[in-house]
Each structure stands twice: as C-alpha cells, then as structure tokens.
C-alpha cells in the first residue's frame, strides 16, 4: 500500500477506533500524513520507540498489536512448551503504558501464549529478573526510558533476561513485515484470558526475591546497618517506576535517612516537574538540590521513568552540589567494587568488567591496576549483557561490573540489563564506606583516582534531526566522516581510526589497517595519542546523531582546554558538512 492507501485504511476502516479515525481526519497538512505513514515504525534490535499518535510510523495500540503478533508467532515456533513458558510484561508511568501492556498481553493470549502481566508499574531490570525467575521465553517492557513525554516504546527481551539478540530480533521483524494486513488482530477479551489461564497477574512474588538478590550485593552489610542512617540521601524517581524498590532496598540495608522529593514521588505521565525525565540533565535535579540544601544531604540520586538509569549529584568540598557524568559514576563504582573485593579477598583471578566503546578509558586503567580484565563492547547495554552471558557459558571470566557512559550500570548475575536499583544501593554503600572508614567523600575519591591515573574528562553533543530529511542528513554526515581522512582533531594527533560498520581500523601513523572483532555497527571512533577519543554514531532510539568526547591530561585545566578545543573542531566540521 502507498501512503494515501494506508491513510485511508486507518481513517475509514471501523477496525480502527473512533478516536484514531477522527485524529487522522483532522490532519490538514500533507507532510504530516506522509510522516505518519511513509513507513512502519522501525523494529530495531531492542524493539520499538516512537511518538504516540495514530499512524504506522507512530506508537499506538495497533502498532503494538502488530509487533506483539510478530513476537507471538516466534514464541509459537518453540511449540507448546514455548507457549506455556510465555512472556512477562512490565510497563512504566508513561501515557498509555498500562493500556499498551494489556493490549500486548491479550494479543499473546489470543495466540495461545501465556502472558505474565505486572499488577502495576515496575522497573525494567525487574522485568529482566522476572523472565529468568519464571523461566519465561520472552519479555516486554512498555517504556520510552528517559525520552520526552510524547514518546513510548516496546522493548523485547529473551529467555536469558537480556534484550532480544540480533538474530532473534531479525526473526521477529520478519514476522512483523510479512504481515501487510493491519486488520484482524483483535486481542482476546480480558476475562477470557484470565479464566483460560493465559493471563496471570504478578507482583510481590517477583519483588521479594529480586530485592533479596539486590541486598546480597552489599559488600559491607554490617556497616550499612550500623551507620547507614548517618548518610543523608535525597532520592527522586522522576515520577517513574523506581520509587518503591529503590526505597525498599535502601531501607532494608540500613539507609533510613532517605528523603524522597515529594513533587516527583508519584507517577505522572506528563512529567510536569522536569523538561525531560532524564537523570543526565541538570534540570532533573533542581528540586532534589533544593531538598538537599535543606537536609544538608551527602548524596542526591535520580532514577529515570523505567528505573534502569541512575543520575548522581555529590556535595563538593565547597559545600556546593556537583553532578557526576555517567563515566564518573561508572569509574567510582568500578574502583569501589574492585578495591573492596580485593581487600576482602573475594576478587576472583579471572575477574572481568565490561564497558562500551563510548565509555571512558579511565575504567580500563583502574581495572588494569587491580589486574582485572576489561571487555569493550558496542554501544548499548544489550552488548554488555551478551558478553556477560558469553563469559558465563564459556567459563573464561567472572563478571564483576558493567557500565555505559549513558548512566547504565550492572553488578551481579541475576539481571541482564542496566539496573538503577542495584546502582543506587552500591553508590550509597560506597559513599557511606568512604565517609565512615576513611573520612572522605565520593568527590574526594574521584579526585584521588584522577591524581593516580590522569585527568579524564568527557562530554557529549547531540544533533536532533527529525523526519525524512533528518534521516538523510544523518546519513550524509556519517558518510562524509567515513570517507574523509582526518589526522588530528583540535591539534591532537589521531592514533587510530575505527569504522565499526566496515569492521576495519587504521593506524594513522603507519597507514596499516586491521580487522575489528566487534559486530558491525554504524559507529566511527577516533582514538588520540596518549589517551582519549572522539566517537560518532546515530542514536538507536531517537532521531539524533551523537558525538562522544573523551580527553586525558595531567591537570584538570589542561583537560578542560583540550576538551573545549576538540569539541569546537568537531562541531565546526559537522557544520561544514551540513552546509554543503
């Protein structure tokens, strides 16, 4: 079908509800119709994400039905046992998340596939745990993570609790694309699904064992119980799914002095107190800072709407609050976990951390100091989880910690995705340990790491380029950079240029090329002599192209100057490419 045929089907056929048909009939702009119907919303390696509205290129219950049908058919390929093992479904606090989750459950039921649906919103990492705990074949989370309120998404997980692997994602996509007809996907009535045993509501029976596993990760449980009340913590769930479990975990460990930002405590699909519910941005912490000042807090924590990312603000030596980057949090947790396990005599000989190629090389230096192996993987936490699974099955490493610069962290072996509940617990314990045992703050510890290994600074820039034209512009930028031989950025010589789409790297001093072992991905990475890098890639979840900057210098001021110069050079190059 062409664009107009799709539009007429959706705006006239009674299969689509009155609200959908009226919304579409009121569109007067042909460009808007084209944007909504020129393609189907892309099912990527993690699932779907898009703006909520009517249309094939938007998030709505009909797109959910079609995607779920594709997943259901893949589950049915595993026979009666796969259908019985079923699919676990969780959802966040976004508009229509509850409805989309139920829609998915009832489409699965219509196909004879068992659906486990959480009774209320739950964080994404608990879904990962639930898939493993219930021995389900698959999982779904209805969430758009930290995107703006206009977005929602549909993330798919597989039986190990990790995001659906690429080959399986391709199989699901093939089933979705094979069905050209949008009609005939009515869900099973809810009462029929319940009485037939195809819909089961779950909750505390998953919460309890999940939390028990989180608490086992504490390295100093006695200290937490004795002194935890002395650490003043401000916490905000940003209207999302982290609220109950983060607070329960901290309380059960002994951190009783936790103040929750009341304006952001309860679910709000409008996210009225923040521009974006993203713990990366400073505005997210505006209210937390206010309460932090009132309570003389040591630590401010924020989790995103689906509870998988953690943002952190520390009190600095001047008494002001300073927000940490995702890399700084990752380095602090790497240092804390490895140093404490070594001191306690529980660091395995084959200990391994996993991080993404977009994350700071400072973590590599810290790991090497403790004789711990580092595995670098492509951007996206699913690759960290896949590498952890590979290690576990191959027996060649023992996973200690994994992180990505975009505020995702994981420890333990019972979850296969980033987990802000785990990260909150470990960060609070680290802050307490250094405060009580060494008389230092986490800020002091970070400074000592810099003095030992060098000042690594990092930053990011993103260009939002939406729609058909934006997609073409992103492709143009990547193509231009890929084919231009760049020997320096900001006057800093480039040692290596890696093109992960071509799985090929080049030594810029010798001109010799080498093969890259990671899977193909549209990523370019320029590594500097002496440490640091620039990396460029299109976002996998938003209409953006992202630029990652990391520099290393002997002093903070030198690092700041170098970072500023390199960023200016790169962004000027991008402006020139766009102007042609």
Per-residue pLDDT reduced to its tens digit, 423-453:
999 999 999 999 999 999 999 999 999 999 9
pLDDT at 67: 97
Q: Which range, of 145-149, 219-223, 473-477, averages the lowest pLDDT?
A: 145-149
Scan for tokens 């249309």, then name that residue: 55
**Boundary-marking domain end, from 191, 220, 235:** 191
Query: How many independent structural domains does the chain possess?
Result: 3
Whether 448 and 464 map to the same domain: the answer is no
Based on the domain organization, do 426 and 466 belong to the same domain? no
- For residues 575 and 43, the model is more confident at 575
Alpha-carbon distance values, 236 to 266, 313, 348 (Å): 10, 12, 35
**Has residue 468 got a pLDDT over 90?**
no
* Same-domain pairing of 259 and 362: yes
Cβ 368 vs Cβ 374: under 8 Å: yes
CA distances from 150 to 45, 81, 90, 271, 488 (A): 22, 38, 19, 10, 40
Q: Same domain for 512 and 403? A: no
- Compute the mean pLDDT over every residue in the chain, rounded to the nearest whole number: 96
Looking at the predicted structure, is the pLDDT value of residue 541 above 80? no
**Domain end: 424, 453, 482, which one?**
453
Instruction: Give the pLDDT of residue 574.
Output: 96
Q: Tell which of 410, 427, 453 closes a domain.
A: 453
SS3 assignment, position 361: coil
What local confidence, expressed as pLDDT, does residue 580 receive?
Answer: 85
In a domain, 123, yes or no: no
Residues 511 and 558 reside in one and the same domain: yes
Is 120 part of any domain? Answer: no
For residues 430 and 551, membership in a common domain is answered with no
Q: Supply the pLDDT for residue 540.
A: 77
pLDDT above 70: percentage of residues in the chain: 100
> What amino acid positions are annotated as catalytic residues?
145
- State whether 370 and 468 are in the same domain: no
Query: Do the domain assignments include residue 355?
Result: yes
Instruction: Tell whether the torsion through CA atoms of 317, 321, 324 and 330 is positive or negative.
Output: positive
Rg (CA), the chain: 24
Helices of type H across 160-199: 166-178, 190-195
Asked whether residue 346 is domain-assigned, the answer is yes
What is the rounded average pLDDT of the residues 486-505?
96
Q: Which helix (H) or strand (E) holds 473?
A: helix 467-483
pLDDT over 80 at 104, yes or no: yes
Could you tell me if 506 and 530 lie in one domain?
Answer: yes
46 pLDDT band, cuts 50/70/90, is: confident
44 has a pLDDT exceeding 80: no
CATH of the domain at 539: 3.30.310.50
- Give the max Cα distance, the chain: 70
Rounded to whole angstroms, the Cα distance separating 560 from 556 reads 6
Q: Give the residue ranges of DSSP H helices in 370-466.
A: 381-394, 420-437, 442-453
Would you state the pLDDT for residue 254? Answer: 99
Helices (H) and strands (E) in the chain, counts: 20, 23
Residue 349 and residue 249 share a domain: yes
What is the mean pLDDT of the segment spanning 471-480? 95
In terms of domains, do 477 and 536 share one?
yes
Residue 513 lies in a domain: yes
Separation of alpha carbons 19 and 6, rounded Å: 17
- Do 494 and 517 lie in one domain? The reply is yes
Check residue 178 and give its pLDDT: 93
- DSSP letters along 294-309, please? HHT-SEEEEE-TTS-B
131 occurs within a structural domain: no
Task: Say whether pLDDT at 533 is over 80.
Answer: yes
397 inside domain:
yes
Q: Confirm if 259 and 291 have CB atoms less than 8 A apart.
A: yes
Assign residue 220 the CATH number of its domain. 3.40.120.10
Query: Using 50, 70 and 90 to split pLDDT, how confident is the model at 221?
Result: very high
- Give the range of the structural domain holding residue 266, as residue numbers without chain letter: 210-453
Q: 269 and 158, same structural domain?
A: no
Residue 105 lies in a domain: yes
């Amino acid at each position: 079908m062409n664009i107009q045929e799709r539009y007429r089907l959706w705006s006239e056929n009674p299969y689509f509800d009155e609200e959908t048909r009226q919304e579409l009939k009121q569109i007067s702009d042909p460009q808007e119709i084209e944007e909504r119907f020129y393609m189907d919303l892309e099912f990527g390696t993690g699932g779907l994400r898009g703006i909520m509205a009517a249309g094939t290129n938007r998030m709505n219950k009909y797109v959910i039905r079609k995607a779920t049908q594709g997943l259901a058919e893949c589950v049915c390929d595993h026979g009666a046992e796969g259908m019985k093992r079923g699919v676990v479904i969780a959802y966040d606090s976004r508009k229509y998340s509850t409805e989309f989750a139920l829609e998915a459950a009832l489409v699965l039921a219509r196909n004879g596939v068992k659906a486990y649906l959480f009774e209320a919103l739950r964080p994404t990492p608990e879904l990962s745990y639930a898939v493993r705990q219930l021995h389900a074949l698959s999982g779904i989370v209805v969430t758009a993570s930290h995107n703006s309120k206009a977005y929602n998404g549909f993330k798919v997980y597989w039986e190990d609790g990790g995001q659906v692997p690429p080959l399986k994602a391709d199989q699901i996509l093939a089933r979705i694309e094979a069905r050209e007809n949008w009609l005939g996907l009515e869900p099973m009535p809810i009462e029929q699904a319940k009485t037939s045993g195809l819909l089961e509501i779950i909750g505390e029976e998953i919460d309890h064992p999940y939390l028990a596993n989180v608490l086992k990760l504490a390295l100093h449980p006695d200290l937490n119980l004795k002194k935890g009340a002395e650490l003043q913590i401000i916490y905000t769930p940003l209207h999302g799914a982290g609220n109950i479990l983060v607070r329960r975990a901290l309380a059960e460990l002994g951190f009783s002095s936790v103040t929750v930002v009341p304006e952001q405590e309860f679910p709000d699909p409008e996210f009225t107190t923040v521009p974006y519910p993203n713990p990366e941005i400073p505005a997210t912490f505006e209210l937390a800072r206010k309460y932090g000042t009132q309570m003389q807090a040591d630590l401010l924590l924020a989790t995103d709407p689906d509870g998988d990312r953690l943002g952190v603000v520390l009190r600095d030596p001047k008494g002001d609050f300073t927000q940490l980057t995702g890399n700084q949090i990752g380095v602090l947790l790497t240092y804390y976990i490895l140093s404490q396990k070594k001191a306690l005599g529980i660091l395995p000989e084959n200990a391994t951390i996993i991080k993404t190629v977009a994350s700071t090389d400072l973590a590599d230096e810290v790991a090497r100091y403790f004789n711990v192996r580092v595995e670098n993987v492509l951007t996206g936490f699913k690759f960290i989880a896949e590498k952890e699974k590979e290690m576990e099955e191959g027996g060649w490493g023992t996973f200690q910690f994994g992180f990505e610069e975009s505020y995702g962290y994981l420890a333990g072996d019972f979850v296969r995705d980033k987990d802000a509940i785990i990260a909150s617990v470990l960060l609070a314990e680290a802050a307490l340990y250094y405060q009580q045992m060494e008389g230092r703050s986490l800020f002091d510890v970070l400074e000592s790491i810099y003095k030992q290994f060098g000042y690594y600074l990092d930053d990011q820039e993103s260009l939002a380029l939406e729609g058909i034209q934006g997609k073409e512009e992103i492709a143009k930028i990547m193509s231009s950079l890929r084919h231009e031989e760049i020997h320096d950025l900001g006057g800093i010589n480039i040692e290596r240029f890696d093109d992960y789409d071509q799985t090929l790297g080049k030594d810029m001093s010798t001109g010799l090329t080498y093969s890259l072992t990671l899977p193909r991905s549209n990523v370019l990475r320029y590594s500097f002599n002496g440490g640091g890098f620039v990396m460029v890639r299109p976002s996998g979840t938003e209409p953006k192209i992202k630029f990652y900057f990391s520099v290393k210098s002997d002093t903070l001021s030198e690092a700041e100057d170098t970072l500023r110069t390199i960023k200016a050079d790169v962004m000027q190059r991008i402006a020139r490419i766009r102007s042609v």
